[in-house]
Structure 1
Amino acid sequence: MFKTILCAIEASDEGKEVLSHASQLSKLCDAQLLVVHVIPYALLPKDYQKELEEEAKPKIREIASEFDISEKCQFIKVGKPYQHICSLAEKKNADLIILGTHSQKGVQALLGSTANAVVNKATCNVSLVKV
């Protein structure tokens, strides 16, 4: 069914929940599972971006290690989340992108979200996990 699944997570319990769903599906499909975490701060100084990346690495490694995902399958990026998620999915020939979504109401729903942007820009299937 799927050969490569890209799971976009935050360094949080919600990210762990999303990755749990992705891990279960990857096992059912015998698919490679990749994990990406995007730090949405493209306009900050490079030194600060690097510091944020270094802070995120151990958190993402810890979450990914719970699901036996090797470090070579973990990616941390800085910039616009939807762009990095879609770009990495294309580069790695992902068949499916899995990411979490928060219920948004009012103005936030009108402005859109990372999940909405990924659904509209991705060239592969996208699955949303409601957290």
Structure 2
Amino acid sequence: MYKTILCAIDATSEGKEVLAKASKLSKLCNSKLIVIHVIPYSMLPRDYQKELTEKISPKIDKLASAFGVPKKNQIIKVGKPYDHICMLAEKRKADLIILGTHSKKGIQALLGSTANGVVNYAKCDVSLVKIC
């Protein structure tokens, strides 16, 4: 069904919940799982971006490694999350992007800016995991 799944996460329990579901689907489909975390600060000095990346890297690695995602399939970027998620999905030929979204009320509240951007710009299937 899906050959490559891209899972966008943050380094929280919510990210773990999203990754757990992506990992389960990846195993069911016997597909490659790639994890991306995007630091949403593109206007910061490069040195500070590098510092943020180095700080979050061990947390993402610990989370992704717990689900068997090798280091080469763990990506950390700085910038607009939906841009990087969609670009990586195209580059790695992902069939499916999985990411979390918070649900409040109505469709506008359901889709945050990242989820909305990914849904509108991705060239592959997108699955949203509802975070309560």
TM band (smaller chain) = over 0.9
For the Cα contact (< 8 Å) 2:37–2:77, is it kept in 1? yes
SS at match of 2:23: helix
CA drift at 1:112 = 4.6
SS at match of 1:16: helix
SS at match of 1:68: coil
Residue of structure 2 in register with 1:69 after alignment: 69
* Normalised TM-score (structure 2): 0.94
SS at match of 2:50: helix
Tell me how large the CA RMSD over aligned residues is: 1.7
Query: Which ranges of structure 1 fall in alignment gaps of 5 or more residues?
Result: none
In structure 1, give the amino acid aligned to 2:8. A
Number of residue pairs matched by the alignment: 130
1:25 and 2:25 matched: yes
For the Cα contact (< 8 Å) 2:103–2:110, is it kept in 1? no
- Superposed, 1:1-131 pairs within 5 Å as 1-105=1-105, 109=109, 112-131=112-131
Where has structure 1 moved over 6 Å in runs of 4 or more?
Answer: none
Q: How far apart, CA to CA, are the structure 2 residues paired with 1:123 and 1:110?
A: 21
Change (3 A) 1:7 1:111: closer
Q: How far apart, CA to CA, are the structure 1 residues paired with 2:102 and 2:37?
A: 16
> Could you give the per-residue CA deviations for residues 92-114 of structure 1, whole angstroms, max 9, x where no partner exists?
000000000012459x7399510
> Could you give the per-residue CA deviations for residues 54-112 of structure 1, whole angstroms, max 9, x where no partner exists?
01100000100110110000000000000000000000000000000012459x73995
Q: How far apart, CA to CA, are the structure 2 residues paired with 1:9 and 1:47?
A: 23
Query: Which ranges of structure 2 fall in alignment gaps of 5 or more residues?
Result: none
CA drift at 1:28 = 0.3
Q: How far apart, CA to CA, are the structure 1 residues paired with 2:66 and 2:45?
A: 32
Q: How far apart, CA to CA, are the structure 2 residues paired with 1:36 and 1:111?
A: 19
Q: How far apart, CA to CA, are the structure 2 residues paired with 1:34 and 1:111?
A: 22
In structure 2, give the amino acid aligned to 1:114. T
Q: How far apart, CA to CA, are the structure 2 residues paired with 1:12 and 1:126?
A: 21
Change (3 A) 1:112 1:64: closer
Q: How far apart, CA to CA, are the structure 2 residues paired with 1:89 and 1:112?
A: 19
